[in-house]
């Protein structure tokens, strides 16, 4: 009985000692990242010397070799490529053009800043297509006025919901117009689609992004326009009886091409068959440098590898650092990673990704068993000095989802502050100059701390 009472008295002290030990090590991580971290310099190299790297493009092939070489300098036990095939879509090297060409049947010329949506077809002739605009707010209005759509260009002026503090919630709501708006309009005879960019920015940069056609309906050209131009187009549609617009794009789908995930490993010393994955996606859109989406996640991943080696950390479990292929258009890289893991019968303990930008970290979203939350809640205090203590139910992102589906792997995603992300996302403004060095490095500190804790204690 005395021994039991002594153990009960000792347990809180043991827990405190454990937490204190982890706090000291995480401070070492932070100090080293801020003093010696190379994530910002790696991001500069990726964005300025490789640049935009649309999946399947020659630039993406260059990025794969860049990633393999860079990871090889950071102390991994091994670095290798995991081949996969990815789709290729091209703009054909020409500017996407949209202009208002007639108001109330009187010629005019009001160019609109526009970008063709990824995977969209080009216009059928060099002169593009010219048709009357039918402006609507949402799908409900599309259904209401479906008998008026035939032969027209449908303009969806659907706004981001400004009341959502987490802007990803607004994006998830609005992105359905980009993704499926063209086919829903084509169902009723539309010949083209214009969508308000998926953003709440104050500039006029159009935002591209992936869209998909429903094969049951005709394929029509699809573009996004900047927010200022969207407001102007909406206004003149309300004031005019007829507004004609010309769309001229050149997008084209090509045959699939070889690509690869870039993978580095630190081999586990105690449980080498248990795998922890941390990663980001190497591809970006073609109209920018992909600095926040997802260059930040790429260099976060590489910084975790660097700092653990710099501190002489020997992981219990095998940690894999993955730069995923073609997240933006197909998710083929992530699917290949999960399929190969399943074929080999691997045991995946945990997977974390960074794909929400290089902004100030606020915490993580998790999709984990209920039993894991006691452990996670106990860890929160360790993240408070570094701003990442907001742990919420939500899950990982697109590149961890196939692992979750295949193995029910617990997953998580870094959640930086989201207020500025969609000002830049998929637009020409997503460049290196719009990433803050300290914010980027602080994200790497938080990710490394979580990987360290999961490796040490499991989940």
Terminal C-alpha separation, the chain:
32
Domain stops at, among 231, 251, 271: 251
Same domain membership, residue 309 and residue 196: no
**What's the pLDDT at 93?**
72
pLDDT at 8 over 80: no
Active site residues: 327
The model carries a pTM of 0.94
CA dihedral 51, 193, 200, 354 (to 10 degrees): -40
Same domain membership, residue 103 and residue 76: no
Does 9 fall in a domain?
no
**What's the pLDDT at 94?**
75
Percent of the chain exceeding pLDDT 90 equals: 95
Q: What would the mean pLDDT of 255-278 be, rounded to a whole number? A: 98
Same domain membership, residue 447 and residue 365: yes
Does 443 fall in a domain?
yes
Nearest to 264 by CA among 282, 237, 246: 282
Confidence of residue 91 (pLDDT cuts 50, 70, 90): very high
Instruction: Confirm if 112 and 98 have CB atoms less than 8 A apart.
Output: yes
Same domain membership, residue 81 and residue 170: no
Same domain membership, residue 212 and residue 136: yes
Tens of pLDDT, residue by residue over 120-171, are 999 999 899 999 999 999 999 999 999 999 999 999 999 999 999 999 999 9
Gap between the Cα atoms of 71 and 69, Å rounded:
6
Tens of pLDDT, residue by residue over 159-211, are 999 999 999 999 999 999 999 999 999 999 999 999 999 999 999 999 999 99
Confidence of residue 13 (pLDDT cuts 50, 70, 90): very low
pLDDT at 5 over 70: no
Task: List, in order, residues 6 or more apart from 52 with CB less than 8 Å away.
Answer: 59, 284, 285, 286, 287, 288, 289, 290
Which CATH number does the domain housing residue 361 bear? 3.40.630.10
Gap between the Cα atoms of 148 and 411, Å rounded:
46
Higher pLDDT, 320 or 10: 320
Confidence of residue 19 (pLDDT cuts 50, 70, 90): confident
Does 92 fall in a domain?
no
Q: State the chain's mean pLDDT as an integer.
A: 95
Q: What would the mean pLDDT of 352-377 be, rounded to a whole number? A: 97
Count of domains in the chain? 2
Q: Which domain holds residue 132?
A: 97-251
């Amino acid at each position: 009985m005395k021994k039991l009472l002594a153990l009960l008295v000792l347990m809180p002290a043991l827990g405190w000692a454990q937490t204190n030990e982890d706090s000291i090590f995480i401070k070492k991580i932070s100090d080293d990242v801020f003093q010696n971290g190379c994530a910002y310099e790696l991001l500069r190299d990726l964005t300025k010397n490789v640049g935009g790297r649309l999946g399947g493009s020659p630039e993406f092939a260059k990025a794969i070799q860049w990633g393999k070489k860079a990871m090889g300098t950071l102390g991994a036990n091994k670095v290798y490529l995991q081949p996969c095939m990815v789709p290729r879509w091209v703009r054909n090297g020409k500017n996407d053009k949209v202009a208002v060409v007639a108001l109330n049947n009187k010629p005019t010329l009001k160019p609109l800043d526009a970008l063709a949506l990824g995977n969209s077809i080009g216009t059928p002739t060099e002169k593009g297509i010219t048709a009357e605009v039918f402006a609507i707010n949402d799908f409900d209005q599309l259904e209401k006025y479906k008998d008026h759509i035939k032969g027209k260009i449908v303009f969806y002026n659907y706004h981001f919901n400004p009341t959502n503090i987490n802007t990803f919630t607004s994006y998830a709501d609005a992105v359905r117009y980009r993704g499926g708006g063209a086919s829903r309009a084509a169902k009723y005879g539309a010949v083209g689609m214009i969508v308000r960019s998926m953003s709440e920015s104050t500039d006029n940069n159009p935002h591209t992004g992936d869209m998909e056609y429903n094969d049951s309906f005709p394929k029509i050209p699809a573009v996004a326009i900047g927010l200022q131009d969207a407001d102007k187009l909406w206004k003149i549609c309300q004031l005019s009886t007829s507004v004609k617009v010309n769309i001229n794009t050149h997008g084209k789908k090509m045959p699939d091409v070889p690509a690869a995930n870039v993978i580095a490993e630190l081999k586990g010393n105690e449980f080498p068959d248990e795998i922890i994955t941390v990663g980001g996606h190497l591809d970006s859109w073609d109209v920018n440098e992909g600095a926040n989406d997802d260059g930040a996640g790429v260099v976060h991943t590489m910084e975790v590898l660097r700092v653990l080696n710099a501190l002489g950390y020997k992981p219990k479990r095998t940690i894999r650092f993955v730069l995923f292929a073609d997240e933006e258009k197909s998710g083929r890289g992530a699917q290949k990673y999960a399929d190969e893991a399943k074929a080999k019968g691997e045991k995946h303990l945990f997977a974390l990704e960074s794909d929400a930008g290089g902004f100030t970290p606020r915490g993580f979203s998790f999709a984990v068993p209920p039993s894991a939350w006691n452990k996670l809640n106990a860890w929160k205090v360790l993240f408070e000095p570094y701003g990442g203590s907001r742990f919420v139910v939500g899950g990982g992102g697109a590149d961890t989802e196939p692992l979750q589906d295949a193995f029910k792997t617990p997953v998580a995603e870094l959640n930086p502050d989201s207020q500025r992300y969609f000002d830049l996302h998929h637009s020409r403004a997503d460049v290196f100059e719009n990433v803050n060095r300290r914010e980027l490095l602080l994200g790497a500190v938080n990710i490394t701390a979580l990987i360290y804790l999961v490796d040490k204690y499991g989940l």
